[in-house]
Structure 1
Amino acid sequence: MVRLILAAGSMAALCVSVVWFATIVFSSLLIFGESTVQTVLVFGFYVYCVLTLVVPSEHKLFYVLSIPILTQFLHLLQKYDFPPGANSPWRLLPFIIVDLHIVSALIRFKTSLTATQKGVAASWIALNFLSIIISPNLPGIITGAFVLVVITLPLYFCYLSLCSERPSFSTDLERSLCLLFILLAFGTFGLVFLGAQYKGASNLLVTRNISDTNVTMAYFILLWPFALRYAGRSRHTFLLTLLLVLLFAVVVLLSFSRGAVFIVLPYLFSTLLIISNLKQVVWFSSIGILLSAAFKDLLQLINTELAYSWQLRFADFQAAGPALQKLQEASGRAEIRRFAYKLFLESPLYGHGTGSFELLGPGYREAHSMFFTILAEQGLVGMLYLYALFLGLGYCLLKTKVSGRQYRLLPTALCAYLLFVHSVGSVWVIIPAKSLTINCIAPLLLLCMYHYSKTICESSPSLYHG
């Protein structure tokens, strides 16, 4: 991990230094940001994408996986007068760069996909191509939809298959995703505390945090088993695990998301039961209880705006009653889903097309539920296809349990992710026509889970020969 941090950190510092010097010499580069700092960070990230993928490195897997996740924060720094939505070339540029690198790698190194894998990849491209071209929102999403859904994800599927042939793939993947978990956590902290600078706009702060942390929370769920597996292999397992648990817990508490609190915290506790002995569980639980009890007071001392926002979000839950039912009532999700179901009835077989809910619905990007969003946009055909993929992935993840108790983390993470995206919000491929964030992190992490579980099963004699 230390070597990876030093390599990635030095590369990032080099890119930032080069761009900072370039802005001094060429002032026209300031178009990339609202200020010099923004320009250096945004343009420096583009340089980072190119250099990390072109320069030979033993950490190439980390660099390829890091670009979509770091792009999550890049969108927040880019100029707001850049074209928003999925057709913005500046927002899509990191994905285009990584796609070109993967194509180059696949040309140079042959990857062997099974007949089933080829069938899944081909059917994914065909089904999503048809879903995109029938969308009434096509002018607003066409570029991003094709880049992310039709090109990027199939390329990552092939690239991870190629990487999984290396003996060190599982450990490399654990280390890479553990570091990305840590970076995502600190990036989330920065987002929350920078958002607190909107003085006198607590409602705006809460809304902005929810829109971003509700999305990133799904990423934390999927990254978590890899972070724990890496911690379990380290020399200082307990201390590293404790650090990761504290990071995850604070992210959840600072998310201002009721869904995160009521779903992710139990998920966090259940994963600790899987990997820890009784003594460790007692330690983790005690620290968690103390942190939760003192969180509001600590937040009040650190930042009064954040403390007010926390109180504002959870005031509705002081009365007794089913938490999830209150969550649906307080957020208006039930009404949104009824609208999605109405759209489904209008075109039940193949739906209205990718990104159609944003245009035809009540103004939201999705129906706050993967089931209802897919039902409205891709109909019965898309719904059956997607849930068949989830079923196949779940079967692969369940097979890894035979290799050791710790691999129960994988199906547990999939279950928590599915619960989250069906009750809080659909976090899948994000290709809005109007808002800033464009990403495909969730399916990318699910692809990592698939190839990781496949590698684990093939390395287990009882599974491989059985």
Structure 2
Amino acid sequence: MVGLVFEIFKKALAALVVVSVLGKLFDQLLTFGEDELQTAVVLACYVYFVISLFAASRHKLFHVLAVPFLTQFLHLFQKYSFPAGANSLWRLAPFLILDSYFLYVFIQKPVCLSKGEKLFLTFWIITQLFFLLISPNLENIVFGGLLFFSLTLPCYFIYLNLVNTAKHFRENLEMYLCTLYIILGLGTFGLVIVGAGYKGSDNLLATRNITDTNVTMAYFILLWPFVLLFAERHALNSLIRLVLYSILSGVVIFSFSRGAVLLVMPYMLITTFLIGNVMRFWWVVALLTLVINVFPDLIFDYKDWDMAYFWTLRFGGVMATDSVLDKLQQASGRAEIHEIAYNLFLSKPLVGHGTGSFEMLGPGYREAHSLFYTLLAENGLLGLICMYSLLFFLLISTLSVCRSNQKYALLPLSLIFYLAFNHTVGSVFVILPARSVTINCLAPMLLLCLFFYAKSIQTHAAAPKYE
């Protein structure tokens, strides 16, 4: 991992040098954003993507996976100084660079897909194009919709299908996704700090919207099994493991999300026992107990913290009911949003209103805070059957490798908790809003990583590390 970090640093430095030189040669180059610094950083990110993808590297897979992660932070840094929305070239430039690299690779290396894989990709592209074309929101999302559904995600599928047969694919995938987990976690904490002080605001609830932790929580759920598998493969010491656990716990705390607490905390507990770290888990519990006893003010002075007010605001009265789930639905307003989505479904039950239509036809939200209701409103019964069939196939694929080793049960478990999150907190799949800042396809890319990791286990059933 040290070599990977050093390579990232070198290529980032090279990108900054290139932009600095070009900025000196062309005076108007750095005038697009709100100031020269912002423009220079944005352009340096684009140059970094080009260098990292097209220059020689031992860690090419990492750079391919990193683009959606880093783009999350790039979009937030761009803010509204650059045109926002799914049709903005400024927002989609990283994915255009990524797709150019994919096409370059596919020209260089023969792509061998089975008949079933070709049929799947053809069906996926046709159905997604149909749902996109019938959308009343087409004018605002056509560029991003075509790019993600018809090019980027199919290219990710073909690329991972191409590289998953490599001998060290799983080991490298674990390391790369663990690295990206750390980057995503530290970046989220950085955004919390910046957001809390934005224009003099110390409202920590405002940072929840700035960092969009309700969305990133779904990414952490899908990344978590790879983090645990990496830690187990390399026998990381307890201190490093505690840091990895602290990142996820910290994101839950700063998310102020009821769903995150009720889902992610049990998820962490179950996966800890599943990975076989029972003794280490109890060591962590003992350490936390010791810290609480040595520093009791951490607990007893909690009510004096600024954060306590916001947690009380989010959770107040929720547990004082016979049905916690019903109370959460009422408190969050999701019941009304689901009703709107269901009424939209009733008006066009077979095919729905099209991709991105809920943002225009609903109450203004990007999705209906539920994968099920979002699919009902936007893709109707046809889209519902297609998506759940794919998710069921993915679940079966990940379950099939559990017999090899108990640790691999982390894969289907992460998918189950991801789906639970998608059906109770918010639908996190392709983020394709007409006006918002962040645009991404990170969740389906991680789902593809789950699938091809499981496929690699089946291909290399005799790998010495785990089997």
Q: Which bin holds the TM-score, normalised by the shorter protein?
A: over 0.9
- 1:453 aligned partner, one-letter code: A
Change (3 A) 1:121 1:235: same
- Mapping for residues 79-118 of structure 1, pairs under 5 Å: 79-118=79-118
Q: Is the 8 A contact 1:206 1:309 kept in 2?
A: no
Offset at residue 107 of structure 1 (A): 1.3
Q: What is the CA–CA distance in structure 2 between the aligned matches of 1:404 and 1:65, rounded to whole Å?
A: 26
Name which of structure 1's ranges 147-156 and 231-240 shifts more when overlaid on structure 2.
Answer: 231-240
CA 1:152–1:288: 2 relative to 1, 3 Å: farther
Structure 2 CA distance for aligned equivalents of residues 35 and 3 of structure 1? 34
Matched with 1:145 is: 145
Contact 1:196 1:305 in 2 (8 A): no
Q: Gaps (5+ residues) in structure 1?
A: none
Q: 2:458 is matched with which residue?
A: 457
Instruction: Name the CA distance, whole Å, in 2 between partners of 1:144 and 1:270.
Output: 37
Query: Which residue does the alignment assign to 2:367?
Result: 366
| 278-287 vs 289-298, greater mean Cα deviation | 289-298
Q: How many residues matched?
A: 460
Superposed displacement of residue 40, structure 1? 2.9
2:70 alignment counterpart: 70
Cα distance in 2, alignment partners of residues 127 and 297 from structure 1 = 54
Q: String of CA shifts for 1:201-226, please: whole Å, max 9, x gaps.
A: 628615514x7101100000001111
Q: 1:233 to 1:377 in 2, by over 3 A?
A: same
- 1:398–1:321 distance in 2 versus 1, CA, 3 Å: same
Partner of 2:416: 415
Task: Provide the TM-score with structure 1 as the length reference.
Answer: 0.93
Q: Partners in 2 of 1:200 and 1:452 — Cα distance?
A: 43
Determine helix, strand or coil for the equivalent of 2:316. helix
How far 1:149 moved relative to its partner?
A: 1.2
* CA deviation after TM superposition for structure 1 residue 44, in Å: 1.0
- Deviations along 1:287-331, one digit per CA (max 9) or x if unpaired, are 567889999958989x96545433432334363544332221111
Q: What is the DSSP-based 3-state SS (H/G/I as helix, E as strand, rest coil) of the residue aligned with 1:184?
A: helix
User: Distance between the aligned counterparts of 2:373 and 2:208, measured in 1?
Assistant: 22
Contact 2:275 2:406 in 1 (8 A): yes
Matches within 5 A, 1:29-40: 29-40=29-40
Distance (whole Å) between structure 2 residues aligned to residue 174 and residue 91 of structure 1: 28
Residue aligning to 1:173: 173
TM-score scaled by length of structure 2:
0.93
Q: Distance in 1 between matches of 2:240 and 2:119?
A: 41
Tell me if structure 1 keeps the 8 A contact 2:369–2:422.
yes
Partner letter of residue 412 of structure 1? L
Comparing 111-120 with 183-192, greater Cα deviation is found at 111-120
- CA 1:165 to 1:304, structure 2 compared with 1: closer, same or farther past 3 Å? same
C-alpha contact (below 8 Å) 1:33/1:77 kept by paired residues: no
CA 1:204–1:419 in structure 2 vs 1: closer, same or farther (change >3 Å)? Answer: closer
Deviation at 1:284, TM superposition (A): 3.0
The verdict on how the C-alpha distance between 1:206 and 1:308 changes in structure 2, with shifts beyond 3 A counting, is: farther
- Cα drift, residue 22 of structure 1: 3.9
Q: What one-letter code is carried by the residue in structure 2 that aligns with 1:78?
A: Q
> Partners of 2:287 and 2:72 in 1: how far apart?
31
Q: Where does residue 399 of structure 1 map in the other structure?
A: 400
| CA displacement 1:19-39 (0-9 Å, x = unmatched) | 245445544233343234322
- 8 Å contact kept, 1:369–1:423: yes
Whether 1:313 aligns to 2:284 is no
Cα 1:128–1:288, aligned 2, differ >3 Å: closer, same or farther? farther
The whole-number CA distance in structure 2 between the counterparts of 1:265 and 1:322 is 19
Note the residue ranges of structure 2 that are not aligned, 5 or more in a row.
Answer: none
Offset at residue 405 of structure 1 (A): 1.1
CA RMSD of aligned residues (A): 2.5
**SS class of match (1:254):** helix
Secondary structure (helix, strand or coil) at the match of 1:410 reads helix
Instruction: Report what 1:136 is aligned to.
Output: 136
* Amino acid in structure 2 at the alignment position of 1:439: N
Q: One-letter code of the match for 1:309?
A: F
CA contact (8 A) 1:217 1:260 kept: yes
% of aligned pairs identical? 47
Tell me the alpha carbon deviations over residues 23-71 of structure 1, each in whole angstroms, 9 at most, x when there is no partner: 4554423334323432232111101111111111111000010001110
The one-letter code sitting in structure 1 at the alignment partner of 2:390 is L
Change (3 A) 1:201 1:115: same
